[in-house]
Structure 1
Amino acid sequence: MSEPRARDLGVPFDGTPGEWNAITDVPGVLVGYETLIAGEPHEASVARTGVTAILPRGRDDAGVPCAAGVYSMNGNGELTGRSWIEESGTLALPIALTNSHAVGAAHTGVDRWVHREHPELSAEWMLPVVGETWDGYLNQINAGHVRPEHAIAAIDAAASGPIAEGNVGGGTGMNCYGFKGGSGTASRVVDHGGDRYTVGVFLQANFGTRHELRLVGRPLGRDSAAANPYEEVEWFVRDGERARARAGAGSVIGVVVTDAPLLPGQCAALARRVPLGLARTGTSGSHFSGDIFLACSTANPGAFTSSMPTAGPGSDDYETSRFVPWGHIDPLYEAVVQATEEAVANVLVAARDMVGRDGHFSPALPHDEVRRAFRAD
């Protein structure tokens, strides 16, 4: 029996999801995890972390550029490769998500995977996209658990179809709204004339304060009976002043992929809509949360290239791209907002209780509280 998701608990959402209600509904998109759970809470080195890999064009077509854009709602976080996306409007390599202190290891892992599988790409230069959120409440974040080979394993494991959520991959040790957080996804189908496109959202969710949480307008966080040790001061004092984490801190990385044909500027506009979906779940965007979003389009393969030329331009040395007119882009915006809201809910429903370093405990969102909140519907 598959694990329940937010819809299974009676939460109603707007819009039409794809077959798996996941970012993998977008044709060609693959997602893989390497989950690292090791050590008992009393031991010196406890791992509650991992790596998530998202391949917008799969393995064989890694290196084929996608139109892409980024947006930072709050910059207390990291997304490598962002300057090149802003410069060229393109994304071409697998995306990796991990913890805040493992960005370098994941970056090296993507480099090594590309060199192994596509040496013609690594002969020029590589600027992988690696995003992070902080898992230091549950994970010994300075222990160096994540190594390049873990990022390689996540890429090798990437697959289509329904994907795991909650305590997996880069989301393994994350917290969200004072509950156990992690990895989550959702999708929406959009009609444009006679064509049908899919918008998929993937979140590594590690943000929000307990009292803020709402699902479809219902204030679940402030009324929850679940313990909330993440936001209690005792562990701050015990760990020392320099180890403090503020309620609402931690970050969220959002990845949007669509097969709708878009320009880079339109992708950036989609990325700017992710915070609207997050806001539906209650967050006001903490100063201590790095909230960074990436969107890309897998349409127009062969366009938006940037390879070093071997000769001067010919008479027909041009690229063309087909794109949705700006005046008809609103349904895609709506899809991003709807899928983002549901992805947050799926994170919280999928995540399970976890005990990490020094006995730190993160409780899952109680399913019975969710069912009770929507029973009247």
Structure 2
Amino acid sequence: MQRQRLRELGAIGSHYAPGPLNVITDVAGVKVGHITLIEGERTRTGATAILPHGGNLFQDKVPAGLAVLNGYGKFAGSTQIMELGEIETPILLTNTLAVGRAIEAINRHIMAFPGNERVVSLNAVVGETNDSRLNDIRAPRPSVEEMLAAIDAARSGPMAEGAVGAGTGTVAFGLKGGIGTSSRRVTIGKHDFMLGILVQSNYGGHLRIDGRPYAVDSAHDRNGSIVMIAATDTPLSDRNLTRLAERCFGGLARTGAALSNGSGDYALAFSTAEAVRRTPERRKGLHAYPDLSNDAISPLFEAMIEAAEEAILNSLTMATPMTGFNAAKGKPSTIDVLSLEAVRKMLSKTD
């Protein structure tokens, strides 16, 4: 059976409608690019770039919030996001030992922009998960040039999922994981807002699909990590973006995540609303920014939980089987995929 997204397999519980493509790029201005490296018997890795807008991010920063549920991971740029509540570079996702090269790629990308000739400090944002169960992670891939290619490939519109980009070699629940995405449309008062999420799934637990347990033949797999990048066109403060990021963990829990000692669970949320963009002029002094109130924000929270759950499950349903190299054991490794037929039967059952 050709790999399919969760909604193509049957009805799922959802209170909010997805955007036109049901992807993070439904949020206007957001762009995503992948570099996928499948070479020989040992290279199964890549990088995924998320751009909040296509302009000079260092000059036109966007508000952002970061949430960490269990911090067994490496999230470059995290302290400055928490301190200043903004991001000023593309976001790169890759493997654990490639974080340094990703930072260098972002540095090159940003410093090459016209207007950034005198930039001497910037806060590169890089998330990671460990793909060493299928990839020779000690090899220096992706390279800096390959990371730059992921940034250059970033586009709006449809995007690939599954074993692509930073999800090329990842494993979730003992099955092939990868990149997944979803979106939701939310109406608050007279205003329509869009939110979307992209995930890099590489964690363990007891898998649940639309609230129902799914038995995995492999041994119980607890450890691993996930990075979730959320975007919205809602005008939000960095404080409320942090709160929105925290709701991604509600969707993570719904999938049966173990949230173990060895898990790295990170969520980053940013707003693309031009009215809250931190431009050079606005950063010079006092400026008034619009902000959706606390009393009105709950529908966004609920929609974010739904979208996060669906994005994670899309990463599994769209992934393909893979044979690679287990770097820790020094031998070949094969990871199977979630059975779409089993999922279809689960979703067709009525309680």
TM > 0.5 fold call: yes
Q: Which residue, 212, 215, 228 being the options, matches 1:218?
A: 212
Question: In structure 2, what is the equivalent of residue 35 of structure 1?
Answer: 36
Q: Distance in 1 between matches of 2:249 and 2:57?
A: 30
Q: Distance in 1 between matches of 2:303 and 2:336?
A: 30
Q: Deviations over 1:223-275 (max 9, x none)?
A: x4xx52xx48xxxxxxxxxxxxxx32220001111000000100000111111
Aligned ranges 1:123-202 → 2 under 5 Å: 123-202=119-198
Q: Distance in 1 between matches of 2:261 and 2:182?
A: 26
Kept in 1: contact 2:44–2:134 (CA 8 A): yes
Q: CA 1:51/1:138 → structure 2, altered by over 3 Å: closer, same or farther?
A: same
Q: Distance in 1 between matches of 2:114 and 2:222?
A: 40
Question: In structure 2, what is the equivalent of residue 365 of structure 1?
Answer: 338
Kept in 2: contact 1:135–1:250 (CA 8 A): no
Q: Which residue, 83, 90, 97 being the options, matches 1:87?
A: 83
Q: Which amino acid aligns with 1:66?
A: V
Question: In structure 2, what is the equivalent of residue 237 of structure 1?
Answer: none
> How far did 1:353 drift?
0.4
**RMSD (CA atoms):** 2.1
Task: Give SS of 2:199's match.
Answer: strand
Aligned ranges 1:1-377 → 2 under 5 Å: 4-14=4-14, 15-40=16-41, 46-59=42-55, 63-118=59-114, 120=116, 123-209=119-205, 212-220=206-214, 222=215, 224=216, 227-228=217-218, 231=219, 247-301=221-275, 303-304=277-278, 317-357=285-325, 358-377=331-350
Q: Distance in 2 between matches of 1:352 and 1:111?
A: 33
Gap runs ≥5 in structure 2: 326-330
> How far did 1:320 drift?
1.5
> How far did 1:304 drift?
3.7
> How far did 1:39 drift?
1.1
Q: Distance in 2 between matches of 1:171 and 1:194?
A: 38
Task: Give SS of 1:360's match.
Answer: strand
Q: Distance in 2 between matches of 1:370 and 1:29?
A: 31
Q: CA 1:65/1:344 → structure 2, altered by over 3 Å: closer, same or farther?
A: same
Q: Deviations over 1:190-212 (max 9, x none)?
A: 11222111111110000113xx1
TM-score normalised to structure 2 length: 0.93
Kept in 2: contact 1:300–1:321 (CA 8 A): no
Number of matched pairs:
344
> How far did 1:114 drift?
1.3
> How far did 1:124 drift?
3.7
> How far did 1:20 drift?
0.7
Question: In structure 2, what is the equivalent of residue 239 of structure 1?
Answer: none
> Quick check: which has more Rg, 1 or 2?
1
> How far did 1:60 drift?
5.0
Kept in 2: contact 1:304–1:319 (CA 8 A): no
Q: Deviations over 1:31-64 (max 9, x none)?
A: 0000011112xxxxx1100000000112455641
Q: Distance in 1 between matches of 2:20 and 2:33?
A: 19
Question: In structure 2, what is the equivalent of residue 242 of structure 1?
Answer: none
Q: Which amino acid aligns with 1:102?
A: A
Q: Percent identity?
A: 40
Q: CA 1:302/1:194 → structure 2, altered by over 3 Å: closer, same or farther?
A: closer
> 77-86 or 59-68, which moves further after superposition?
59-68
TM-score normalised to structure 1 length: 0.87
Q: Which amino acid aligns with 2:305?
A: V
> 167-176 or 58-67, which moves further after superposition?
58-67
Q: Distance in 1 between matches of 2:13 and 2:238?
A: 29
> 349-358 or 296-305, which moves further after superposition?
296-305
Q: CA 1:374/1:331 → structure 2, altered by over 3 Å: closer, same or farther?
A: same
Q: Distance in 2 between matches of 1:150 and 1:59?
A: 21
Task: Give SS of 1:295's match.
Answer: strand
Q: Which amino acid aligns with 2:315?
A: V
Task: Give SS of 2:116's match.
Answer: helix
More strand as a share of residues: 2
Q: Which amino acid aligns with 1:194?
A: K
> How far did 1:187 drift?
0.4
Q: CA 1:302/1:18 → structure 2, altered by over 3 Å: closer, same or farther?
A: closer
Q: Distance in 2 between matches of 1:305 and 1:86?
A: 19
Q: Which amino acid aligns with 2:308?
A: T
Q: Distance in 1 between matches of 2:279 and 2:59?
A: 9
Kept in 1: contact 2:75–2:125 (CA 8 A): yes
